[in-house]
Structure 1
Amino acid sequence: MSAPMPSGVAICAVSEVAEGQRKLVFVEGRSVVVFRIEGQWRAIENSCPHNGASLAGGRLDGAVLSCPAHGLRFDLRTGRAVGGGHLCLGLLPTQVIDGQLVLTNVAAE
């Protein structure tokens, strides 16, 4: 008996996003940015926790994403603000299934 497939939504083919790059997608009414960083996939809500600014066009330096509005920097590996503080990105769980990046456990807000 095979293990059950996780519930989720396929958001793009893994071939669509090169290492060190990103892609903006819309999933069930939510704006999400996916990144391929250090061989890993990261997906975040496209909203800075500081003031809601779009993060899709932020500067990416390795695994650190800068908010284009106020310059806050976030480590995409942990979601936490660089240098401390209480702000944290909304990291979303992903899984690669049959060449597709799948956003798992998607729940409408």
Structure 2
Amino acid sequence: MKSTLDHRVCRADELAPGQRKIVFVDGRSIALFNLGGELRAIDDACPHNGASLLTGRLEGSVLRCPAHGLPFDLLTGCSPAGRALCLTTFPLRQVEDGIVITLQSSDSPTCSPT
């Protein structure tokens, strides 16, 4: 059975539209993105080779891995190049003046159909 835990990761004003931020929750490195008001959170490790994704080039909602240029759509968690590579994504939301992330006991890569 999976258990879920909510974690307040930052103040809302620390993640304004267009910004990104790295946070550490339960020993995990998680990259947060604000895509024009749409909040996204991913495991900060490329599923291809583990490179940090935080500094990757962002083209709309598509983030490119800075190590090899692999694209990942932050809205779905999937690579537009093929669904074999998926990011681990986490629910992220604003609650009052803070940003809250929800982790499950066994989070793993997930791709959502578009």
When normalised by structure 2's length, the TM-score is 0.83
Relative to total residues, which structure has the larger strand share, 1 or 2?
Answer: 2
Q: Which has the larger Rg?
A: 1
Q: Deviations over 1:25-67 (max 9, x none)?
A: 1111100000001321000000001111111111111111000
Contact 1:20/1:62 (<8 A) preserved: no
Percent of aligned positions that are identical: 48
Q: Distance in 1 between matches of 2:81 and 2:27?
A: 32
Unpaired segments of 5 or more residues in structure 1?
Answer: 1-5
- After TM superposition, what 4+ stretches of structure 1 lie above 3 angstroms from structure 2? 105-109
**Residue aligning to 2:34:** 36
Unpaired segments of 5 or more residues in structure 2?
Answer: 108-114
Q: Could you say if the C-alpha distance between residues 16 and 90 of structure 1 is closer, same or farther in structure 2, counting changes exceeding 3 Å?
A: same
User: Could you say what the CA RMSD is over the residues aligned between the two structures, in angstroms?
Assistant: 1.8
Work out whether 1:78 is the aligned partner of 2:111: no
**Residue aligning to 1:3:** none
